[in-house]
Structure formats: structure tokens, C-alpha cells
Structure 1
Amino acid sequence: MIEELKTFIAVVDKNSFTKAAKSINISQPSVSSHILALEKYFNARLIERSNKQRKILITQPGEILYKKAKQIISFLDEAKDELSNYEHSLCGTLKIGASMTIGEFLLPSILGEFIKEFPNVKLDVTIENTKHIYEKFINYDIDIALIEGTVPVQNYTYRNFYEDTMVIVTPASFSLDTNINLKEYLSTQTWIHREEGSGTGENLNIFLNNESISPKNFIILGSNYAIKEAVRNGLGVTFISSLVVKEASTTGEIKIISTKTKYNRFFSYLVHEKNLSKLQKLFLEKLETYKNS
């Protein structure tokens, strides 16, 4: 049954019997046989096939089984790691997903400390925006999700672990005429924005709404570094984590503009608590002790 489940996961991931067969190194007839065996066992149609268009469609029961199968395989992998090294130092693979700001500016130091303590642990790290990290988490592609945006409340544990400060950032040449209101000035500027699904982009929208600022133009960029460089080169202004611009501000490459209202947000972690392995628990313990410097 385990091999059949692995085959089914491959078919869903590749959306093709042929590609699935190649990815797990078995024949296409074997793929078909495995899927039929699962459908017979669960007494449910898992995949709709179109011979003419050579397309497949995952049914609703198939979607349910896909998520459960990912959990089952993940549990087995964790059990294998723990049992094979029961009398030795802790090892195994920890699959972490982090949104961009966390992954670029916090996670390296956190993982550095963790690996010093548990040097035999293997890390599988994914860094994408909050939306994509959340999707991977609910599909059990990652064990622990570290996010900076809001996500739907579902059947998992959601806890804050770090308080971040958001700041307005302008080019170093910025000089505000004392006769001009800051909000009025900011409304005339081009704002450098993150893509949809980004926690930073979400917080920029909140800031603009709260301050009643209506920018004349937006430039959308897909990374914090690109945004910082765009501002440094005079393309516009932005609202971003102080972690991103701390060094550039210190060296005078950009300016941080003070606001009357302090804008903070929390970085959070998501876990499927009922399924935590010893390795995941130890990482969360390390994360819980991580405080703002």
C-alpha cells in the first residue's frame, strides 16, 4: 500500500501518468495498476481520465487522499529517521518553509545556532512569499512554516515568535520641505511594492489605508533586496521591515523616516501539532527562545 500511495502522490504532483512513472522510476502500466488498486481499496474514484485529451483530473476523494497520503509518507520518513538513529545523536531531515523577510534576515542565525547543537540534522529549507509557504504547509510539503502575513485559521497551531518593526524608507537624497505635510508628500511618490501574497505587501497596504495615502504609482518587485536597491537608486519609497534596511540606513545609503504611529507586526510559526516529531519539537523550543535583539 505504501508504494501505491507514493505513486498516487507522484501522479498528482506531475499531473501525468507518464511523468509520474519517470519520476519514481517505474513503468506506466505499474502506475495505472497502483492507482486502480487504491481505487479498489478505498472504493472511490480518485482520478478521472480523458483518453482523447490525455489529461487527468483529481476528484474530490482524490484530493482528500492526496493530503492524507502526504501525511502518511511524512510520518513513515520521520519514524525511519528516529528509529534508525535511536541510540545515536539526533539526526533526520527538518523541512522548513519561511516567508522572504524571515528567510533572508532571521532564519540563517536561528538555523546556525540549531545546527551547532544538532550537527547531524539535515535541513530542507524553502523561502517564498507567505501565500506560497502556507500552501506548501497545508499540503504537508513542509513541517514548519514561518510566516509574516495573515493566513486562514484552520486546524493547526499558530503562534507568534518575533515582533518586527515596519518603517518608511526613502532615497538618501530625500529632504522634506517643512511647508509640505509628510502624508501629502508621500502621496505624490512612487511606492515600491511586493507582489500579491507577500506579508510585506500586505502590511504596506494596511499602512497606506491607515494613513490615507494614495500613491501616484506603484512598482512591483519580488524580493526585499530588489526593493531596497530600487529605493537606494531613487526609483521611489517603500514601507518595509527594519531588518531589511538596517545596514543600508547605518551606511547612509537610504533614509528611514519617522512616523507618529509605530507600526509593528509579528512573525509566526505554523505546525500540525498532533504530528510533531522530536526533531520538530526541539526546533520549536529553539524558536520560542529567540527574542528581538
Structure 2
Amino acid sequence: MENFRLRVFRAVAEEMSFRKAAESLHLSQPAVSQQIRALEEECGARLFDRAGGEGHGTQIALTEAGRVLLRYATKAAETMAEAQRALAALNDEVVGELRLGASTTVAQYVLPRILGAFLKQYPHVHLSLVSGNTEEIVEAVAEERVALGIIEGPAMRRDVKTERMVRDEMVLIVSPNHGWAKTGAIEPEDLANVPLLLRERGSGSRRVVERALKQVGLPLRSLKVAMELDSTEAIISGVEAELGVGFVSRWAVSKVLRLGTVRIVPVQGMEILRDFSFVRLAGTEVVGTAAAFQRFATGSAATI
């Protein structure tokens, strides 16, 4: 619904390149140049300073007129997107952009099946997904870079609100060759005698595990932290390589348990439960495609 010339103009302004804008719009570079020249004639002003033309490697910059027009073109695009959502709502349709953020474990192990089913049901939704640790996703929500986040630990900020999506359990995994693989269960204090693989600082999984260990009298300083890793997959790989033991989401180990490359070992008196939670900006309501996804994911996660 957006004016085509303004869409081309915004693409060039965002990429600061006629070539890259052409690639993102699936147009030829001459077609992009033609649209910009026609828009400049319509506006009666140059929108870009072009140092050496419009070819590959050319440096361009917005003129003052270009900066003014970009401000209004961006507002116009947002208004037309709202109009499209409002029109779709009249027919109970879900269309438009869905800007979603998800922490690493959720993005890798929980979301794929949910998103596949959601996009099949709502094919006119355009998804963009940002992944990172919990701290990074909460920051993206607070800065409004995503409309809705899903995190695996506490938000640790007052400017966002959380709501449970699904319950998760963190389990201790070891190599099948480890001495604990056939013991049945261990005592918490046994953890002080083995190399431990942990997620990096800022990870929701790291916070949950640290808190659970502290509750059974095992502050981090009393443990042998062998490595700090930036993903659940890295911890699983480290355990498979017999570099240590580690706590990971039960959601993440179904495949490796079937393959027999790791074993789950219960820890007496430790049950590490947590929520995968939706996170949104405080004082706002989730609307449009984000609201539709939240409803869909809440129902789907319980059945996976």
C-alpha cells in the first residue's frame, strides 16, 4: 500500500547504496536510479549527494531535503502499515510485519516448530527474528527494536513486563563415559569436584543455574568452572567431548538423548524449573501480528 517511489527512496536511504537498495527490492540498479530521479523531479530538490555517480562503491549521502523527506516517508510507511492491519482486522486476517526477539535456547529449540505452524496459518505475515541472550533480548524490547520478546530467565529490568509462555526444566547432563552416567543420582556437593560448563554472563540460563546452586549451598566460587560458553549447543558439545558437565534445558536434549551421546543425571534436592516468558515494553499492550503470535504460541507450546 506504500507509494512505490517512497519505498525505493527509503531503501536507498537505509542502505546508502543504489546497488544494495536494488538487491533488497529485487530491482535493477537503473530502475532504482530512475525512480529516485523521478521523485527528485516531483519534489523539486536533490535528495542525495552522489560523489562520482550511482555505480558500485559510490559514496552517497542524504541532502537536507532528503533528510526531511525521509522523516515523512517513514511516518507514511508506518501509517499505511497500521491501515493494512486495521483493514485486515475487519476480516479477521493477520498481516504485516512481526518483529520478534528470542533468547538463544528458545530460538534454537522451541520456536522453529511454532513459527512454522504460525506462518503456515498466517502466510501474509513477514517475520524478522533477532536472537541473543536474555539480557540482549530484553534490551531490544526496551529499545523497541522488537515488538515482542521470548526469554529464558528473569528480565532484571523495570521497564519491561513478562508473561509465561511455557514451563521449562534445566537438567544436568554428562558424557555416557562419565562416572555418574550409571549412578542414578548424585548429591549437590558432588558438583564441586568436577569441571562445570556454564553459559556466559547475561544468559538467562546462567542466572537460573547460579540461583539454584546457591540455594543448595554451592555458590559459584566453590565450583570448578571450566568454561563459559555462548550457547546451549556449545555446552552439549562440550559434554559430549568430555570437557565437563553442564546444566541445559530439557527442550534441548531430546535428540542427543536418543543418539545416546549424553545422559541426564538427577541431583538430589535440586529441581531447576523456570519459565520461558514473553517480554514486552511496560505500559503497552501487544497488538497486531505480535498479539496474534503470542496467542498462537501460548496454545502451541503446551502441545509440543
Check the 8 A contact 1:78/1:277 in 2, yes or no.
no
Aligned equivalent of 1:278: 288
Q: Could you say if the C-alpha distance between residues 263 and 217 of structure 1 is closer, same or farther in structure 2, counting changes exceeding 3 Å?
A: closer
* Aligned pairs (5 A) from 1:200-239: 200-213=205-218, 214-239=222-247
Contact 1:204–1:240 (8 Å) recurs in 2? no
CA distance in 1, matches of 2:240, 2:247: 13
| Separation of aligned partners in 2, 1:98 and 1:285 | 16
Code of the residue aligned with 2:214 in structure 1: it is: N
CA contact (8 A) 2:142 2:159 kept: no
Tell me what 1:64 maps to: none
Listed as ranges, the matches of 1:1-293 within 5 Å are 22=16, 26-27=48-49, 28=61, 30=63, 34=67, 75-76=78-79, 78-82=81-85, 89-176=93-180, 182-213=187-218, 214-260=222-268, 261-272=270-281, 274=284, 276-289=286-299, 290-291=301-302, 293=304
Q: For the structure 1 residues 186 and 32, does the alpha-carbon distance in structure 2 shift closer, same or farther, using more than 3 Å as the test?
A: farther
Q: Is the 8 A contact 1:249 1:255 kept in 2?
A: yes
Residues in 2 aligned to 1:74 and 1:267: alpha-carbon distance in whole angstroms: 33
**Alignment gaps of 5+ in structure 2:** 1-9, 22-46, 50-60
Contact 1:163 1:292 in 2 (8 A): no
TM-score, scaled relative to structure 1: 0.71
Match of 1:47 in 2: none
Q: What SS does structure 1 have at the residue aligned with 2:209?
A: helix
For the aligned residue pairs, the C-alpha RMSD in angstroms reads 3.4
Stretches of structure 1 that go unaligned for 5 or more consecutive residues are 1-9, 11-18, 39-68
Query: Are the counterparts in 2 of residues 174 and 255 from structure 1 also a CA contact under 8 Å?
Result: no
TM-score (norm 2): 0.68
Query: Displacement, 1:154?
Result: 3.1
Asked if structure 2 preserves the Cα contact closer than 8 Å seen for 1:82 and 1:92, the reply is yes
CA deviations over 1:255-292 (Å, ceiling 9, x no partner): 11112332100011022474543222211111221316
The percentage of counterpart residues that share the same residue type is 23
Relative distance call for 1:74 and 1:185 in structure 2 (3 A) is: farther
Contact residue 164 and residue 241 of structure 1 kept, 8 A: yes
The whole-number CA distance in structure 1 between the counterparts of 2:196 and 2:64 is 51
CA contact (8 A) 1:170 1:256 kept: yes
- How many residues get paired? 242
Which structure has the larger Rg over C-alpha atoms?
Answer: 2
Q: CA deviation at 1:29?
A: 6.9
User: Could you tell me which amino acid in structure 1 is paired with residue 85 of structure 2?
Assistant: E
For the structure 1 residues 285 and 85, does the alpha-carbon distance in structure 2 shift closer, same or farther, using more than 3 Å as the test? closer
In structure 1, C-alpha distance between the alignment counterparts of 2:175 and 2:100, rounded to whole Å: 35
